[in-house]
Structure 1
């Protein structure tokens, strides 16, 4: 247990959080300027990379890189809040998928074709869907977080059971930190090894945008299922079980969005967050009814 406490402090203490936050911020700034330099080297033909990727055509698309680092930090925060608050943990899932859409918007801004045929151009139309979805998601997350701050109105569960449940969540969180960082590192190395600047060999943008996060949400589904099963040791209340099961369904819907593209992907993401919001609203109303 002493080893576990040391690992928890090393990975998930407030000091570790501040250290990781600062490191990722510096990496984001460094990545942003490197991306800008590559764009201008290519633009002024100082160095010919033979790249036709949309990410290397416009300086605006350089914002894509620091947002990728911000997303890595959001992944860490998701794990950080897992033992502390289950609803905050779910909120972070929703924030991550929303930031993925926002990140994509910066790339799309650099390739917009402003014309009277706006709604006939596939890229411009998808930009419209994504920008509307980001506003809707922002509002839904606000409402979800608002509902999540409502404390349980029913009598507290057995204190020892609560402490055991929190301990199990801490164990899961400690295991997840190295797993996700290794996943991110492996994904980055695997992707960069397949790049060839001399032969215009770059993965498609859809592949880049989904990089790491399709596997990430697959693992999250497994984690959510484990948390659901563990919660049965903590409570047998119907509304709690339905709430936790609903969050698993919501995560699955988000994961499914990576398997499709265009409007269908955007709709799946909005439906996933809307479903999670509906679940927590009904859960809170259920508690109020049984308290009366």
Structure 2
């Protein structure tokens, strides 16, 4: 058991994080070039990828692939920061949804019609919603991290907090193999659906942005609840309980967004981050008030 735990901890150290960052960059570059080659071959009719035309009919769509690997690295960073900082851990969730939207833009950009009747075309509207969402979410994430920095200045590490950090480290250690299995399963299932099951593709392909991440955020909700329950063993502070509960609600809103599209999808994502910011802001004010009492 100790050997297994040590192996998982290996994935959570600084050296592995730095190495994995370089590896992901190289893989992203190679994947981008390979995707471009497939698009080129598809254009010349050397291969036929009509069923996946949204990803193989425009060179700009090739950016979708390296962004997918960047998202994988962001998922790893989320697990990496889970034991170290709750707010950074939540912030990484927000970064992931922002990157998902950016990746979605690169995939859907080939569907733009750019007609004079802009607001009557579905994909043109979705593109507009996503562009606005990127700017708004980027600004909101900036605010969230600013509030997070203010909170860090008031944190005092004691024995109870150290035990809680150790508990979160163990949770993160066991989360790694679960996410590895989920990512492999999602990828294999997508390959099978895309290339070997034409009937399933009719309704599956439209949800390509949901692959892995819908299940991933479900797991995060369960992990967040588990962390909240363990936190009661180390702290009974009202403000901390409400903050952590609020973050769970924020994650649930992100999860719900995967079952929506268009303007409702964007609204849910923006509201999830706004809700997290408000919870963190009130928590910081509450902590300051308790300190002055």
TM-score (norm 2): 0.93
Q: Which structure 2 residue ranges, 5 or more long, are not aligned?
A: none
- The residue that corresponds to 2:168 in the other structure is 169
- Find the aligned partners of 2:9 and 2:18 in 1 and give their Cα distance: 12
- The residue that corresponds to 1:119 in the other structure is 119
Q: Shift of residue 153 of structure 1?
A: 6.7
Aligned length: 291
Instruction: Point out 4+ residue stretches in structure 1 off by more than 4 angstroms.
Output: 152-155, 197-205
- The residue that corresponds to 2:190 in the other structure is 191
Q: Shift of residue 112 of structure 1?
A: 1.2
Q: Which structure 1 residue ranges, 5 or more long, are not aligned?
A: none
- The residue that corresponds to 1:259 in the other structure is 259
1:196-275 alignment runs, 5 A limit: 196=195, 202=201, 204-275=204-275
- Find the aligned partners of 1:192 and 1:174 in 2 and give their Cα distance: 28
Q: Shift of residue 24 of structure 1?
A: 1.8
Report the CA distance shift for 1:154/1:143 in structure 2 as closer, same or farther (over 3 A): closer
Bigger relative contact order (CA 8 A; separation at least 6): 1
Report the CA distance shift for 1:199/1:49 in structure 2 as closer, same or farther (over 3 A): farther
- The residue that corresponds to 1:145 in the other structure is 145
- Find the aligned partners of 1:199 and 1:140 in 2 and give their Cα distance: 41
1:25-174 alignment runs, 5 A limit: 25-51=25-51, 53-151=53-151, 156=156, 159-174=158-173
Report the CA distance shift for 1:172/1:32 in structure 2 as closer, same or farther (over 3 A): same
Residues 172-229 of structure 1, C-alpha deviation per residue, up to 9 Å, x if partnerless? 0110111101110111011112223896984654311110000000000000001111
- Find the aligned partners of 1:154 and 1:234 in 2 and give their Cα distance: 18
- Find the aligned partners of 2:44 and 2:197 in 1 and give their Cα distance: 17
* Aligned Cα root-mean-square deviation (Å): 2.0
Q: Is the contact between residue 194 and residue 205 of structure 2 (CA under 8 Å) also seen in structure 1? A: no
Report the CA distance shift for 1:139/1:154 in structure 2 as closer, same or farther (over 3 A): closer
Report the CA distance shift for 1:211/1:75 in structure 2 as closer, same or farther (over 3 A): same
Q: Shift of residue 163 of structure 1?
A: 1.2
Q: Shift of residue 154 of structure 1?
A: 6.1
Q: Is the contact between residue 126 and residue 262 of structure 2 (CA under 8 Å) also seen in structure 1? A: yes
| Larger helix proportion of the pair | 2
